[in-house]
Amino acid sequence: MKKIKIEANQEQKELTGKQAFFQNIDYSRALQLSTCVRCGLCAQSCHYYLTDREVKSIPAYKISLVGRVFLYYFGFQRKFWSWWLGSQKLDSSNLDEWTNILFGRCSLCGRCSLNCPMGIKIHDLVRFGRSILARLEVMPQGLASTIKTALIFDNNMGIKPEEWVETVKWLEQELRIERGSSSLFFPLDRFGAKILYAINPREAKFFPLSLLAVGQIFSEAQESWTLSSFNYDATNYAYFLGDDKLAAKFFKRLEASMKRLGCQILVLTECGHGFNAARWESPGWLGYRPEFEIKNVLEIVAEYVKEGKLKLDPSRHKLPVTLHDPCNLVRLGGLLEEARFLLKKAVTHFVEMTPHGIENFCCGGGGGQLAMTEFASQRLKAGKLKAEQIKKTGAKIVVAPCHNCLDQLLELNRFYQLGIQVKTVCEVVAEALIVG
Amino acid sequence: MIWLKLSLAASLIFMISIISYYFYRFNQLYHPNAQAKPKGSPRKGKIYSLSLGLLPWEKESTRQFWPTYVLGIVYHLAIALAFLRLLAELFGLSILSSPFFVVFLLMGTISGLGLFFRRWLNPALRSISLPDDYLANLLVDFFLFAAAMSLWQRTSLFIFYILGLLLALYIPFGKIRHCFFFIPSRLIFGDYYGRKGLFPPPNRKDPFKKAAKAR
């Protein structure tokens, strides 16, 4: 396995497997690794196992890789019973298997965790395994490239500052044309705005209409908001790598923008992992709780509708619409109702998938899978369950409040010939907006 | 018999010492010192995780595999009963000796064997299993059977003691140690989801409430 250094100037000594292991283990992980009894009940909850039926895809097998090393370094038994209990040293002989399984066969969706009778956060233990690999500088090339780009350009798509400013200007013109008003703005670096809106750089590059939709919604609700000319990337691919220090570094960029612009609420775009990382994980990485509030745009838009600031006309969407619950936003992010509340207000024919909510299946695009082209065929295969779920609803529009999910669903649409349109929640809401 | 009782007591002390040492070592590890502002209640999440969250219909895995769930519950209740009985015998207390317990302990033994064969016969499960999984199961099955027999026939009490002793010596090293880590693990789990407002599930349909309403 070829080693990859993420930060070129980092003067870090090469670590042994044991050192890497002990740098990332914590109390809860040690305890949970001691609890797995290999009952196998997690198998049927994993979209990888359900689509390929391979032992390597069983979540209990995935965490057993880490568990074996845990026993080796943490038990009395390493010298005597390695065969009996499976304890194993972490060295170059098992790094390939770790990488292929922990990165290639898991999207960190947490569905197995929810179904574990022992209450083991399996997804966190897989992430722990990834973090050990990251310490050893072993990781998929694609994920490493995305992170490197984010480090160099301050966004993971490598958008240059002048390009971003131009995009915002163009969006402002579009917004004015759309709404027929020349007094509307797409604010950039507005000091003292209440909301700082952090985007997924993919929106600026490939999906500007989702940004336009948010601009329309904020304008209609007469919100005090702004974009930032730099440090605006809501994504955090270091989260997928399990590198908490690097993940903290990415979050600190958003924190710096909040301080620079004097905003009160950091609102993240429809990006599942970005929201989970910023809202739930960042305090653990930083060692303190950020001084500002962190919300997802869905929470804000749902509030507008509840407060009557936005009026929606559902009759504009007559085609059947279904919702894909992104794992990082719903099962791991706690936003169970916001997206469906909005869709029920914005469309006439809303159909739920089976299962949905916190039990929903991952689309296969989570866990950094879209960045790891090495595992693309496995990702598409694992998406079969989602494709079947969508087919069963009969929906023509699939709404996904997450840009990684959006990409994966677009690929599934082509691969499994679903004949659907894929949209964000804000796009659907903006289309239903009654302009006052 | 007194020597056997003393050896059993020593093995139980040994077991507790090793498990305490594990907890001590785990506790030395990093504890995150800041957590996100909760959306729900971590306390309620923990309570749910150790109560209603254990019910079979609360999780897809147990809804789909309820026979495994039933076997597991009977097995674990029988183990708890057998251990209580072992302690009662050790301290010379004449409790937990009703004939009903014989039946229950035998049911526990059968459940344990059911889980053993499930592991052995299911190819996927077999492939993730280690020798420890089989030995731990069989050791506990024999222990349960001996517990039942000791109620039936006092002369077999020494077998119950010996198996209890072996079990206590084995627990800290094999998978059975999960019995000590299960509750803290479920608490961590409950805290994690409770904090996010997902435990107890906001739209949870309580079957008991539903039944009461129907009445």
d(CA A275, CA A297): 10
Phi, psi of B98 (to 5 degrees): -70, 145
Q: Which residues of B23-44 are buried (b: 16+ CB within 10 A; e: fewer)?
A: beebeeeeeeeeebebbbbbee
pLDDT attached to residue A214: 96
d(CA A44, CA A163): 46
d(CA B150, CA B156): 5
**Residue B142: inside a domain:** yes
Cβ of residue A208 closer than 8 Å to a chain B Cβ: no
Sign of CA dihedral A79, A29, A250, A241: positive
3-state helix, strand, coil in chain B (%, to 5): 80, 0, 20
Cβ of residue B133 closer than 8 Å to a chain A Cβ: yes
Predicted-complex ipTM score: 0.94
CB pair distance less than 8 Å for B130 and A85: yes
Q: Which stretches of chain B score pLDDT less than 50?
A: none
**Residue B38: inside a domain:** no
**In the block, residue with structure tokens 């049927």:** A44
Residue A128 near residue A90 (C-beta atoms within 8 A): no
pLDDT attached to residue A78: 59
**Residue B191: inside a domain:** yes
Q: Which of residues 219-278 of A touch B (CB under 8 A)?
A: none
Cβ of residue B182 closer than 8 Å to a chain A Cβ: yes
For residue A162, the tally of other CB atoms under 10 A from its CB is 9
Q: How far is B122 from chain A (nearest CA, A)?
A: 10
d(CA A32, CA A340): 34
Greatest alpha-carbon pair distance for chain A in Å reads: 77
In this structure, which amino acid lies at residue B124?
A
Q: How far is B135 from chain A (nearest CA, A)?
A: 10
**Residue B13: inside a domain:** no
CB pair distance less than 8 Å for A337 and B202: yes
In this structure, which amino acid lies at residue A253?
R
For residue A98, the tally of other CB atoms under 10 A from its CB is 22
Cβ of residue B62 closer than 8 Å to a chain A Cβ: yes
Beta strands in A128-209 (DSSP E): 195-198
Here the contacts of A5-10 (C-beta below 8 Å, separation 24 or greater) are A5/A137, A6/A134, A6/A137, A6/A139, A6/A144, A6/A147, A6/A148, A6/A151, A6/A241, A6/A243, A6/A246, A7/A151, A7/A246
**Residue B69: inside a domain:** yes
Q: B155: domain range?
A: 60-201
**Residue B79: inside a domain:** yes
Domain count, chain B: 1
CB pair distance less than 8 Å for A58 and B128: yes
Residue A272 near residue A326 (C-beta atoms within 8 A): yes
Phi, psi of A368 (to 5 degrees): 85, 10
**Residue B10: inside a domain:** no
Q: Which stretches of chain A score pLDDT less than 50?
A: none
Please name the member of A26, A42, A116 whose beta carbon is closest to the beta carbon of B31: A26
**Residue B27: inside a domain:** no
Q: Which of residues 81-110 of B touch A (CB under 8 A)?
A: none
What are the start-end ranges of the H helices in A229-318? 237-241, 244-261, 272-275, 282-286, 297-307
What is the crossing angle of helices B66-90 and B157-170, to 10°?
110
